[in-house]
Structure 1
Amino acid sequence: MTRIAIIGGGPGGYEAALVAARLGAEVTIVDRDGIGGAAVLTDCVPSKTLIATADVMTAFEDAPELGVRVGEDAAHCVTGVDLARVNARVKALAAKQSEDIAEGLAKAGVTVVRGSGRLADGGAIVEVTMRGGAEQGTVERVAADAVIIATGARPRELPSARPDGERILTWTQLYDLDELPEDLIVVGSGVTGAEFAGAYQALGSQVTLVSSRDRVLPGEDEDAARVLEEVFQRRGMRVLSRSRATSAVRDGDRVTVTLEDGRTVQGTHCLMAVGSLPNTEELGLEAVGVQTTRSGHIVVDRVSRTTAAGVYAAGDCTGVLPLASVAAMQGRIAVYHALGEAVWPINLKRVSSNIFTAPEIATVGRTTFNAESDDPKFDVVKLPLDTNPRAKMLGFHDGFVKLYSRPGSGTILGGVIVSPRASELIHPVSMAVDLHLTVDQVASVFTVYPSLSGSIAEAARRLHKDEE
């Protein structure tokens, strides 16, 4: 029986463990912070649960347009949130998800060891410093034929803006707040910053978003980012572009953020969303020959191998793509390769992703942001969401459906959807990219009328016209 040891219990780790156990391996997970990792306990699950409440508040805000009276004043939404109850629900759901995953691992026969692991003996042994109980601080050795490192990442902290968990916060600390921030400053306009800025604005905070770049979401489709920034500003958010923050200092119940040009911004709370750092220290990587980048990320190939024989890595510690779905796929691929199963190397051009703002932004494959560098020859069609009959009925005004195809063959290369529930709408586009479908094939499939997905088929039909 092949022995597989996994360091880290997040998506890259627990998904690898389940596959390995199903294939007959003897599997041990060394977990330090809780099964599910950051994705379940402090990142994806908590943030999207919080955003679910924010979505309800957004619906209330838009309700009068549909003829719905909210509160005593028919002209205004009279609503509010109890942040303590919201965060209690957030934590409860995260804990339950972690519990469910742990139960699944136990049923599969996976051994979970609570502690911190490091590589030894060339990677053939994982030394575990035990945590909790009578064994606290003792060291156990787990023999392994293959090791998978899935230790994830943590919020990056600036020396001049140290979080205190009360007024200056990382995104892992937001769920300890009992009262809604009156005036929240969000430093960082990437995915995390944009999601929390939009959520807290919907919940009722006055939000200032500080962006060091010329727009929000600088790494995403430009058209999509422009729509979101316009929505943010229309709803009352203050967006400071080309404004790099140099420090955040607390003074009592106020926080002052100083910008590079000397300007200052004041608020009651400050969220620092300035990226993340891989958890790759003290793993014994260098001693066993595992190469890392200057940022500390583990170097892996497309089947999750590191530069050390028998050692694999998956998830945010690799820096490949910080998505739970990618971490899980990397973990599964590592197991398939380690056990000699048929394996398909990861293809990032087929990865779909979503930004949980209002509206959501979903992408897959090639977009304007990367298509020109990957392949300058492509056709594109963009249909505004407000031309879709179902969107009109639902009161959706902001967004679009955009498809990219290859000239001649009409093969769909990628797409961008900006819409409420775009995360659900992107799937047919993902299938088209993965299966190399053409615009004619997508256009010929029946869609429900009226439906938001009808715009996907219509965009495909428009691309066919462009090819003639």
Structure 2
Amino acid sequence: MARVTVVGGGPGGYEAALVAQQLGAEVTVVDRDGLGGSAVLTDCVPSKTLIATSELMSDMTLARDLGINFRDHQGDPATELTADLGLVNERVKALALAQSGDIEGRLTRRGIRVVKGTGRIDADKRQVVATLTEGGEEAIDNDAVLIATGARPRVLPTAQPDGERILTWEQVYDLTELPEHMIVVGSGVTGVEFAGAYLNLGAQVTLVSSRDRVLPGEDADAATVLQDVLERQGMNILGKSRMESVSRSGDVVTVKLTDGREVTGSHCVLALGSIPNSEDLGLEEAGIELDEGGFIRTDKVSRTSAHGVYAAGDCTGGFMLASTAAMAGRIAMRHFLGDTVIPMDLKQVAANVFTSPEIATVGYSQAQVDSGEVVADTLRLDLKGNPRAKMQGISDGFVKLISRPGTGVVIGGVVVGPRASELIHPIALAVSTGLTVDQIANTFTVYPSISGSTAEVARRLHHVE
């Protein structure tokens, strides 16, 4: 029986463990913080739970337009909708812990051993040495190792979090009251998601962006729609503004910009990117190559440069998504244990920005088409003409398809709108299976539905010359 040791219990680790056990291996998971890792405990699950509440708040602003009015207990019109952030965060943390417990229960029921502690590789002895949380060490023999230790928020010497008013995105869930004025530094996915969430919950929000628009790495059309919505809702977006330092004096947080301006607020969230958890693991001693940022180098089947050692998830960089981490972990174990392996194709990865509206993407981008990297036809259709969107009061968003000229094979797509994370799936299926715009157009859709716009874009692309 092959022996597999997984270091790290996030999506890349626990999904790899489940596959390895299914394929007959004896599996041990060494985990420090709790099964599910940061994705479940401090990042993806908590943030999207917080955002789910903020989305409901956002949806309620449409109530009057749809004919719904609120009254207080005396029958007078209600004028204010509020969120109790303390209760919201209690639910967030409880749900995260419950999800972590569910994952641990699933592993233990399958006979996977979970060791609580930190692990490092002893390449000479082909062992993982676990420093146990309860004290002491344990040497674990193995035939293969998977490193899935994740990443942590990046901080700067001039912007140190204090856990109270200057916060990383992992620390916001201890807030018991809604910030009066939240300053978010960083306009990438994490920064924009939190900025939008706190705005919808009722806080004043200033977003500090070093670029000329939010989400510089996303589809430009989509980012423009989102920025228009956020500014219309009252967010103060400071474009082309680079943070120099963040400091606190009592209840006031000051963000100093490199051009000399200062922004003051009650709280600040730092969304400055991630640093891999790749130190103190014995990687370099084991002959495992790291890039200049400390991320572990892997090939398309998750192998590192050391024999028998694989890596998956945020510690390898690239698409830092729970879905890609899980897939990389599964691929690693299938490769090691001789099962059928399909190397990961990043062009098939569907990603989503959980804002209001959401932005979902898959495949080749508009920027790659515009730069000439790929020759393709593109077509965008705004949702404001969709009958279901009209019924639901949706006025912002669109569907965009990218297809090969001549053949019409779909190679990319963008959806901007409510639940775009759900609406991107048929486009992701088209990209992964090589469907054409005609095949999408000739597939029945429900009327009325938002997904009908995807079929309509496909019909219109049939006529593109």
TM-score, structure 2 normalization = 0.98
- Superposed displacement of residue 273, structure 1: 0.4
Query: Contact 1:71–1:78 (CA<8 Å) still a contact in 2?
Result: no
Match in the other structure for 1:119? 121
Match in the other structure for 1:34? 34
Whole-angstrom distance in 1 between the partners of 2:398 and 2:170? 32
Match in the other structure for 1:8? 8
- Superposed displacement of residue 65, structure 1: 1.0
Partner amino acid for 2:168? Answer: T
2:82 to 80, 83, 89: 80
Cα displacement string for residues 169-193 of structure 1 (whole angstroms, at most 9, x for unaligned residues)? 0000000000000000000000000
- Superposed displacement of residue 341, structure 1: 1.2
Whole-angstrom distance in 1 between the partners of 2:284 and 2:110? 33
Match in the other structure for 1:264? 262
Match in the other structure for 2:155? 157
Cα displacement string for residues 202-231 of structure 1 (whole angstroms, at most 9, x for unaligned residues)? 001000000011110000000000000000
Q: State the SS of the aligned residue for 1:151.
A: coil
Match in the other structure for 1:464? 462
Q: Residue 161 and residue 123 in structure 1: after superposition, are their counterparts in 2 closer, same or farther (change >3 A)? A: farther
Partner amino acid for 1:308? Answer: A
| Count of residues in correspondence between the two structures | 463
Match in the other structure for 1:171? 169
Query: Contact 1:60–1:77 (CA<8 Å) still a contact in 2?
Result: no
- Superposed displacement of residue 373, structure 1: 5.0
Q: State the SS of the aligned residue for 1:458.
A: helix
Partner amino acid for 2:381? Answer: L
- Aligned counterparts, 1:418-433, within 5 A: 418-433=416-431
Whole-angstrom distance in 2 between the partners of 1:451 and 1:122? 60
Whole-angstrom distance in 1 between the partners of 2:63 and 2:70? 7
- Is 1:318 equivalent to 2:285 in the alignment? no
- Superposed displacement of residue 74, structure 1: 8.5
- Superposed displacement of residue 441, structure 1: 0.4
- Superposed displacement of residue 122, structure 1: 4.2
- Aligned counterparts, 1:310-389, within 5 A: 310-372=308-370, 375-389=373-387
Whole-angstrom distance in 2 between the partners of 1:6 and 1:167? 36
Partner amino acid for 1:7? Answer: V
Match in the other structure for 2:63? 63
Cα displacement string for residues 59-106 of structure 1 (whole angstroms, at most 9, x for unaligned residues)? 111211111113459987521011110000000000010000001001
Partner amino acid for 2:186? Answer: G
Cα displacement string for residues 30-51 of structure 1 (whole angstroms, at most 9, x for unaligned residues)? 0011100000000010000000
Partner amino acid for 2:10? Answer: G
Q: State the SS of the aligned residue for 2:158.
A: coil
Cα displacement string for residues 127-165 of structure 1 (whole angstroms, at most 9, x for unaligned residues)? 111113xxx1x1110111000000000000111111001
Whole-angstrom distance in 1 between the partners of 2:172 and 2:18? 31
Match in the other structure for 1:46? 46
Q: Residue 374 and residue 365 in structure 1: after superposition, are their counterparts in 2 closer, same or farther (change >3 A)? A: farther
Match in the other structure for 1:200? 198
TM-score, structure 1 normalization = 0.97
Unpaired runs of at least 5, structure 2: none
Partner amino acid for 1:16? Answer: A
Q: State the SS of the aligned residue for 1:415.
A: strand
Partner amino acid for 1:326? Answer: T
- Superposed displacement of residue 367, structure 1: 1.5
- Per mean C-alpha deviation after superposition, the further-off stretch among 162-171 and 65-74 is 65-74
Q: State the SS of the aligned residue for 1:119.
A: strand
RMSD: 1.2
Match in the other structure for 1:393? 391
Q: Residue 29 and residue 168 in structure 1: after superposition, are their counterparts in 2 closer, same or farther (change >3 A)? A: same
Partner amino acid for 1:339? Answer: L
Q: Residue 375 and residue 328 in structure 1: after superposition, are their counterparts in 2 closer, same or farther (change >3 A)? A: same
Q: What percent of counterpart residues are identical?
A: 60
Query: Contact 2:71–2:77 (CA<8 Å) still a contact in 1?
Result: no
Whole-angstrom distance in 2 between the partners of 1:3 and 1:374? 48
Whole-angstrom distance in 2 between the partners of 1:70 and 1:141? 63
Whole-angstrom distance in 2 between the partners of 1:346 and 1:376? 20
Whole-angstrom distance in 2 between the partners of 1:123 and 1:309? 13
Whole-angstrom distance in 2 between the partners of 1:351 and 1:395? 30
Query: Contact 2:368–2:374 (CA<8 Å) still a contact in 1?
Result: no
Whole-angstrom distance in 2 between the partners of 1:63 and 1:371? 40
Query: Contact 1:220–1:369 (CA<8 Å) still a contact in 2?
Result: no
- Per mean C-alpha deviation after superposition, the further-off stretch among 62-71 and 454-463 is 62-71
Whole-angstrom distance in 2 between the partners of 1:103 and 1:256? 45
